[in-house]
Structure formats: C-alpha cells, structure tokens
Amino acid sequence: MGFWVQRRTVWLRLVAIALIVGFSFSTSPSPALASSFNLNVAPYVAPSITYQGARTNTHPIAQSGVIAQANVSTNSIQPYLDRVADAVTEFTLPNGMKFIVLEQHDAPVASVMLYANVGASYEEDGKTGVAHYLEHLAFKGTTRIGTRDYAAERVVLDQLDNVFDQLIAAEAAGEAERVSELTEQFAQLQQEAATYVEQNKFGQIIEQSGGTGLNATTSADATRYFYNLPSNKIELWFSLESERFLDPVFREFYKEKEVILEERRSRVDNSPIGQMVERFSEVAYSESPYRRPVIGYQEDLRKATRADVRAFFNTYYGPSNLIAAVVGDVDPEQIKQLADAYFGRFESRVEPPELVANEPEQIEPRSFTLQLASQPWYLEGYHRPGINDPDHVVYAIINSILTGGRTARLYKALVEPQIALDVGSANGFPGDKLSSIMLLYGLTAPNHTVEELAAGLDAELLRLQQEPVDTMTLDRVKTQARAGLLRQLDSNQGMASLLTEYEAKTGDWRNVFRELQLIEAVEASDVQRVARQTFRLENRTVGKLIPAEEAAPQSSTSSETSTPELTPETETSGLEDDEAASEVAEEASAEDTATRSATAPVAPVRGLW
C-alpha cells in the first residue's frame, strides 16, 4: 500500500497534488467525551461504560522493537505481524456496518477512522464532484448541532434551494432581468441563513475534549473521516460520528460551493499541471469512471444542488457501506457496546450499486500536447490491472525500482545527468479498485527537452523487459517495503487507515499482514514478465506540457517520436497509491483548512458533553 511512497522535493509535491487532483483534505478542530462539555445540545448517551486507562503496552511491534529491524528478513518479521493480526477484533452490526478494533495500550489515546466505501468514481456524468462536496458538508452539523434554531433555519434553506433552481432555469432561458432579481433575492436569503449558523461546532467539541487531527479525504475510490482522541473520550466519537451521518444538515451549501469552485480554479483551471493531469485522464481512459476528476467539472459544480448531494448520501452512506476502525487504548467489548448503542440506530439500506470496470483494452498509443505558461513536464502512463490482481505486488516492486528514491533507476538515468529536475510515479492513478494507470512523470531540466526525458524514461522501461533485475536491486526494494509497512503499523492512525483500506478493497483486512509474504515471493522473472505485458507501445498514453514560447518548434513533434518502442498494456492502481495521495494531501491540508469551515454533529437525547 503506502510502502512505496517516496518523499520528493517541495515543488515535485506540488505537481503530485495535481496528479491526485481532487483528493481533498478537510480539516477542523477535534472532539472528545461526555463529562467535559457544557454545550447547549443534548446528545444521545449510550448505556454506562467503564473506561479503562492505559496499561502495559502489549502491542507486539512495540514490545519487539521491530521498527528498528527493517533490514531483517520477512521471515523474522512475519511472526510479529501475525501477533498483531491476532490482536484485532472484528464484528458486524445487524444493519451491516463493520468494525475493526485493535488494542494498543502504549498511550491513553485512540485513533478512529470512518471509511465510506464510495468516492468520485461512483458519481454520474453531469454530477461530478458530489462525493468531495459531501465530504465538505459532513462538517456542517445536524438538526441540533451547528444551528441556533433549526426550525427557522430549515425554512430559509428550503427557500434558498427554490430560488437557486429558479436562477439556474432563468440563466438557461437567457432571462437577464429575472436573473438579476433572483440573484439579489438569493443573496438576501444567504445572509438570513447565516444568522442561524454556529460556526465550527463539530471541531470545537473535538478540540475541547483533547482531540487532534480532525480531517477527511476524498479520492476516486473512497471517502475517509478520521481523528485522534484521549481513550477515555472514545464514546464521544461514537456520539458525534453517528449523529452526523444519521441526521446531517447540508447547511452553508452555496457558501461551500464557492470554496470548492475556488479550489478547482487554483488546482486545475489556473494550474498548468492541474490542466495537464485532468487532460491525461480524459485521454488515457475512454470509458472508466476514473476519467473524471475527483474535484468535479466546473459546470457540474456550479449547477449542483443540495438534492444532488442528499441523493448521493442516501445511496452510498448506508451502514453496510461504512467501515469503522478503532486503534489504541480501548477495550473491544466496550467498543462493541458503544457501536451497538450508537450506530445500531442506523436502519439497513438497499445495497448501493457496484463500481463497474468497463474500460476496454487500449489497442493503439495515445498522446496529446498542451502549450501553457509552465515549465516543461512529461507524463507517460500504462494501463495495469487492479489491486486484486495477483500481480499487484509486482507492480509495486516495479514502481519502487523506477522511482523509489535516489538509488532508483529513473533518478540515476534522468536526474543525476540533469536531464530532469526530478521524476516520480503514481502506481495506480487515480484509484485502485478498478484497473487503472501506472503513471510516470518528470520535470525537464533547463536546456533539455521533454523528448530527451521521454527517451531516457522509455529506455529504462525497455531495460526492465530485456534484462532480469539484479538481486541487489530486488532486495533493496523489498527492504523498503518492510520498512514502510512497519512505520505504518507503528502508528495508530496508519494502522486504522490500513485496516479499513484493505478490508474495503481486498475484502479482508488480514491481507495487510500477508503483504510482505507476497512481496518476498516476487522474483526477477515476475518483474520481467509484468514489464513485458505492460510497457507496450499500444498500451501507452503520453502527455507533454510545453512552455508557450516553445510551442511552435516542439508541438509539431509526435509524442511517439524519438522514444523506444515499448509494450505497455494493463491498467490498475495498487494499494500504495492512495497512500501517495494521502502523503501529498498532508501538505495540501493547510491550504484546505484555511478555506473550510466545520460544524459539529452529535446524537439525540441527553448530555454527553
């Protein structure tokens, strides 16, 4: 999964943000438990639970110190991973919601993750951006949280929706005078609606209870909501999280629309590399839902309604489509009681539609060139199978061989001789549930061309097909895998992320603990075989971003000229790619936070905080 993520320079991270464009983080302060709150909202309180403090750390990895043993063999690490797996408790509520719990008593804290098994790839054409929009609105509160008077507020919200619908119709009909009248009426209603809003309630509750890291992300495949709490406040997470997904109010809808439109303008419309990546997806995919941007198209966002978001929520946020992970200083039996008391209130829903893999095999090379005010960038991608394909680990190995740090082949072939300023990859662009793209990219160095960069890149891909990978290289990338996995296992939040991700995408959270064995089993012949079946010319999509002043001489050059004939062919995304997106999003989150507001949810009845 995230084992192969490599850290790059700051400016390369900026391009990676565009590569995973729309993978958004929503930040808000954080909540905690009952006794420490004196807010004028009475949440539902579950039956009394006895909280346990921190105990001796029984976590296998913490006791063994294997974090420092990344260079030892998989055989010596696997027993510890097996012990971690044995410490996991899982259960499913009658309504279909799944919980995964891992006790780790080294500190009196817990990390919580609510994983909605739906992302942007589930959207309809014409309604792009709804998944990300919903993630923003999930922080706006409920009928009881984030409002001064919901009965009065609801009347104004309904009026806003009605006027907005009229406004869109008037614009379509070209009724300029009517548009002007409705625009003024709409602005007045927005001002009135704002008087009922209590800003950032959700975050305030969490922060006042000692919570940290309140955030959310949307990708092509999933939406994740997470934060950390003192372990004696864990009941608050159940109260807040169940409330906001049982009784959400998508208030400040039109205000948030401007935030998202500005996000799109800055990351795509006014960003050459953002435009480049969006165009690349449209060219590389002909039918797959991965061809649409996570953040959505501007016109779809502009016309989006609260009814659109509500319909998406009702379809995909049923309990059977949610997975929760709780990792830290907790008691699994206590977690079961709380889960039943709070999330057991959710009614079962009809199973949502499955994501369909409908991308036809690519049978000829594709290419395009953009001419913009930018440094010269080169993108090259190949279709590959999805995460559940037996070769998904081989793709992770190939990805690391090519771009896994300063010892990687593309760094040595392109960066050291100063043909490229840097190079990178996304081993499952933009998702990994379906077959996707192994994407390689680079920023051309001064006095060099994208054609030179392409030639060097393709020479290395050809080398993978023609020469077996040497033992030293293969051992190095396997060591990277071990180290990366152990780092994530040593973090409560990282563990919660891995458990939910593997459960949702592979059908079994245990697969995270089997990953190292699969990696260890990869041989040089596997790398060569997969390289040959993937890096074929007819399976290749190339994109060039050329500075406007260079456009005339360079745009006439075919994107396939002066590059070795390769044979790329499959498409997919590996588990490690969402982690790459997550890592990039960490740096983007500060910007997102500045433009986001959050509101607080809780549960119905007496006083928990």
Task: Give residue 355's pLDDT.
Answer: 87
Per-residue pLDDT tens over the stretch 229-286: 999 999 999 999 999 999 999 999 999 999 999 999 999 999 999 999 999 999 999 9
Task: Give residue 64's pLDDT.
Answer: 41
Per-residue pLDDT tens over the stretch 510-559: 999 998 889 999 999 999 999 999 999 999 999 999 998 755 443 333 33
Per-residue pLDDT tens over the stretch 459-488: 999 999 999 999 999 999 999 888 888 888
Task: Give residue 597's pLDDT.
Answer: 31
Per-residue pLDDT tens over the stretch 210-219: 999 999 999 9
Task: Give residue 283's pLDDT.
Answer: 98
Task: Give residue 516's pLDDT.
Answer: 87
Distance CA 525, CA 536 (A): 17
Contact in structure between 339 and 91 (CB atoms under 8 Å): yes
Helix, strand, coil shares of the chain, percent, nearest 5, are: 50, 15, 35
Per-residue pLDDT tens over the stretch 133-173: 999 999 999 999 999 999 999 999 999 999 999 999 999 99
Distance CA 234, CA 247 (A): 20
Per-residue pLDDT tens over the stretch 53-104: 334 444 444 444 433 344 556 667 788 888 889 999 999 999 999 999 999 9
Quote the longest CA-to-CA distance of the chain. Answer: 75
Parallel/antiparallel/unpaired status of strands 420-429 and 212-218: unpaired
Tokens 């008087």 locate to 195
Percent pLDDT > 90 in the chain is 71
Per-residue pLDDT tens over the stretch 11-38: 444 444 344 334 444 433 333 323 233 3
pLDDT of 601 > 80? The answer is: no
**Whole-prediction pTM value?**
0.83
Distance CA 53, CA 474 (A): 44
Q: Which two tokens stand for residue 349?
A: 């829903």
- Mean per-residue pLDDT of the chain: 83
User: Which fold would CATH assign to domain 23-355?
Assistant: Cytochrome Bc1 Complex; Chain A, domain 1 (3.30.830)
Distance CA 265, CA 549 (A): 23
HEC string for 559-606: CCCCCCCCECCCCCCCHHHHHHHHHHHHHHHHHHHHHCCCECCCCCCC
The pLDDT of 105-124, averaged and rounded, is 97
Task: Give residue 112's pLDDT.
Answer: 98
Q: Where are the domains of the chain?
A: 23-355
pLDDT of 224 > 80? The answer is: yes
Helix (H, G, I), strand (E, B), or coil: what is residue 80? helix
Task: Give residue 58's pLDDT.
Answer: 44
